[in-house]
């Protein structure tokens, strides 16, 4: 089902093709970078860049949902972003609040589930209230899970997980020998979500910027030169087709991946004959 059914035939056919690939990413994470530079290039205040960035957010959410992506995580505000000028921080909070108020009905109609990661308690109360309403309203939805990383930092999340684990050990609810990678991951904000298969960063920067450091261990990285306000559906298609060409080996060899069955037989025979 397409949003509002108003989609061009060309987009429909691209999205149908993408949907047909089994190895399409389940989870895409995006560092939306370049709003400030987009505004600077036009000699207008930085906030106009964030405002235009919201147009990209809308298009990318909709296109991801139409293409059958199950999880989309957007790095909307980092813990480090609190250090920006107060006007910009306040403006971003207002934009986030009005985005959610304006879009919630359409997101809900299209079965999007809103999810949050980050230090949400540090956001202004009015933003927390709007976000709380949105997550509650959409919590049963089974379409795209749209996660907003807000006041988020991966090191903060990892440190917090370590503290929670230590407390559980002290209370006798967990023994140190039982701490596996899975146990650790269950203490992170991203608990219950699959790791991102694909991380997109815009504006040509090659950095992780404290985003999902644990979860991106095996994620494929795609850097777009476009500034975020210019990153639209065609750019998402390009990233997805690029991803589909990649070979994800997870530490194995290319032969193992391409021919796992015959590789296994070869290993068994080699052991038998040794």
Catalytic residues: 33, 81
How many residues bind ligand FPP (CB under 6 A)? The answer is: 18
CA 199, 64, 67, 112 torsion: positive or negative? positive
> Is residue 37 within the footprint of ligand FPP (CB under 6 A)?
yes
C-beta closer to ligand FPP: residue 15 or 35: 35
Neighbours of 118 (CB within 10 A): 22
Distance between CA 113 and CA 108 in Å, rounded?
A: 7
Q: Which listed residue (28, 47, 54, 79) binds ligand FPP by CB under 6 A?
A: 54
**Span of 27-35, 187-195, 206-214, 247-255 interacting with ligand FPP by CB under 6 A:** 27-35
Least Cβ distance, residue 81 to ligand FPP (angstroms):
5
Which of 18, 24, 30, 76 is in the footprint of ligand FPP by CB under 6 A?
76
DSSP code at position 136: H
How far, in Å, CA of 35 to CA of 203, rounded? 9
Which residue's Cβ lies closest to ligand FPP?
36
The answer to whether 119 and 127 have CB atoms below 8 angstroms apart is: no
Other beta carbons less than 10 A from residue 183's beta carbon: 13
Nearer to ligand FPP, 148 or 193 (CB): 148
Task: Kindly state the smallest distance separating residue 153's Cβ from ligand FPP, in Å.
Answer: 13
Q: Which stretch binds ligand FPP (CB under 6 A): 53-61, 128-136, 176-184, 213-221?
A: 53-61
Q: State the Cα–Cα distance between residues 231 and 244, nearest whole angstrom.
A: 19
Within 91-120, the residues that bind ligand FPP by CB under 6 A are: 95-96, 99
Which element (helix H / strand E) includes 139?
A: none
Whose Cβ is closer to ligand FPP: residue 15's or residue 147's? Answer: 147
We find the least distance from the C-beta atom of residue 133 to ligand FPP, in angstroms, to be 15
Judged by CB, which is closer to ligand FPP: 166, or 204?
A: 204
Q: Going by C-beta distance under 8 Å and a sequence separation of 6 or more, which residues neighbour residue 240?
A: 18, 24, 25, 67, 198
The alpha carbon torsion through 233, 235, 236, 239 (nearest 10 deg) reads: 160
CB of 201 to ligand FPP, least distance (A): 10
Q: Applying CB under 6 A, does 81 fall inside the site for ligand FPP?
A: yes
Q: Rounded distance, CA 258 to CA 85, Å?
A: 51
Contact positions toward ligand FPP, by CB under 6 A?
Answer: 32-37, 50, 53-54, 57, 74, 76, 81, 95-96, 99, 148, 228
């Amino acid at each position: 089902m397409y949003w509002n059914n108003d989609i061009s035939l060309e987009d429909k056919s691209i999205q149908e093709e993408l949907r047909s690939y089994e190895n399409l990413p389940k989870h895409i994470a995006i560092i939306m970078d370049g709003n400030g530079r987009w505004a600077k290039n036009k000699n207008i205040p930085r906030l106009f860049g964030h405002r235009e960035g919201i147009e990209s957010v809308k298009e990318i959410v909709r296109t991801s949902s139409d293409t059958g992506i199950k999880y989309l995580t957007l790095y909307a505000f980092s813990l480090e972003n609190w250090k920006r000028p107060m006007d910009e921080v306040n403006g971003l909070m207002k934009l986030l609040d009005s985005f959610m108020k304006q879009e919630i009905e359409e997101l809900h109609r299209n079965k999007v589930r809103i999810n949050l990661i980050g230090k949400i308690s540090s956001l202004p109360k009015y933003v927390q209230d709007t976000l709380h309403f949105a997550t509650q309203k959409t919590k049963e939805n089974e379409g795209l899970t749209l996660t907003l990383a807000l006041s988020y930092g991966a090191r903060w999340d990892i440190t917090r997980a370590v503290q929670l684990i230590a407390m559980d050990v002290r209370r006798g609810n967990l023994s140190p020998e039982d701490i596996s990678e899975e146990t650790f991951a269950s203490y992170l904000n991203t608990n219950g979500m699959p790791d991102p298969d694909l991380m997109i960063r815009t504006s040509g920067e090659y950095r992780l910027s404290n985003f999902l450091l644990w979860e991106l261990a095996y994620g494929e990285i795609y850097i777009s030169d476009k500034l975020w306000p210019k990153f639209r559906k065609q750019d998402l298609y390009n990233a997805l087709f690029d991803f589909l060409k990649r070979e994800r080996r997870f530490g194995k060899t290319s032969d193992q991946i391409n021919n796992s069955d015959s590789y296994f037989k070869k290993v068994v025979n080699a052991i038998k004959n040794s």
